[in-house]
Amino acid sequence: MCDEIFGDKNFRNEIVWQTGGNAKNKYQLNRFHDTIIVYSKTNKQVFNPLYFEYDEEYKKKSNVKMCEIRKKEYVTTATYNAQPDVNPRPNLRYKWKGHLKQWYVTKEKMEELDKDNRLEYNKDNIPRIKRYLDEMDGIPLRDVWTDINNTQSGEKLDYATQKPIKLLERILKLYSNENDICLDIFAGSGTLGRACISQKRNYLLFDINKNGKKIFEESIKN
């Protein structure tokens, strides 16, 4: 249906949100996630990438080191293409420290990195580029979300399918900007409106439930 409404070329993402729950089920696998389907109206949609701070798990997996010169944490990335014939770039093929390879940076840039102590050499004198954590964006948000719990008791209202405020706030941050108008045509208890207020968005809410407006107005008083 969304393909028909928006066009299949405007499909953007399928997001898996882990909702949790430990109820027993004797007849099939327990449902442990919801699926959020993302479409845009045109190819000029709003998208604001989100990033997380580098945690200890990331640092351990990525072999984060401490630079003795700058006293900052860093990771390293490759400087050359291991399969140069797949994507040949003759302008990036040159000798560096006795090694002829297809590098990812120009010779001028390599010299600049070397002078700035941003190269780490292995025993064969092949460099890798130092990437300092405080100069990087962070861990990018991906399409599997496991860090937002289902609706908590403190924010529950009189509506069965209520979504957590944090979930809606994340969606708003990703796909809208401040002062944009956000529409929910099945608004339920008005949680999108509450998320819009906290994120400085405008909102339009529709719902068949006659008590929906009252529930929403009561919720924003608290």
> pLDDT, tens digit, for every residue of 152-205?
767 877 677 788 999 999 999 999 999 999 999 999 888 999 999 999 999 999
The pLDDT score that the predictor gives to residue 20 is 77
pLDDT at residue 3 tops 90: yes
Q: Which of 8-12, 20-24, 133-137, 176-180 shows the lowest per-residue confidence on average (mean pLDDT)? A: 20-24
pLDDT of residue 178: 97
Q: What is the pLDDT of residue 26?
A: 85
pLDDT at 214: 85
pLDDT for 90 beyond 90: yes
Give the position of tokens 């924003």: 220
Strand partners, 203: 182
Q: What whole-number distance in Å separates Cα of residue 135 and Cα of residue 62?
A: 16
Single-letter residue type at 155: E
How many angstroms separate the most distant Cα atoms in the chain? 77
Predicted confidence (pLDDT) per residue in 116-155, tens digit: 999 999 999 999 999 999 999 999 999 999 999 887 767 8
- The domain ranges of the chain are 2-50+141-221, 52-135
Read off φ and ψ for residue 76, nearest 5 degrees: -120, 150
Superfamily of domain 2-50+141-221: Vaccinia Virus protein VP39 (3.40.50.150)
Do the beta carbons of residue 219 and residue 157 sit within 8 Å? yes
Determine which helix (DSSP H) or strand (DSSP E) holds 58, and give its type and residue range: helix 56-61
Per-residue pLDDT at 189? 83
pLDDT category, 9, cuts 50, 70, 90?
Answer: very high
Spatial separation of the C-alpha atoms in residues 183 and 198, rounded to whole Å: 16
What is the per-residue pLDDT across 39-84, written as a single tens digit (0 to 9) for each? 999 988 999 999 999 999 999 999 999 999 999 999 999 999 999 9
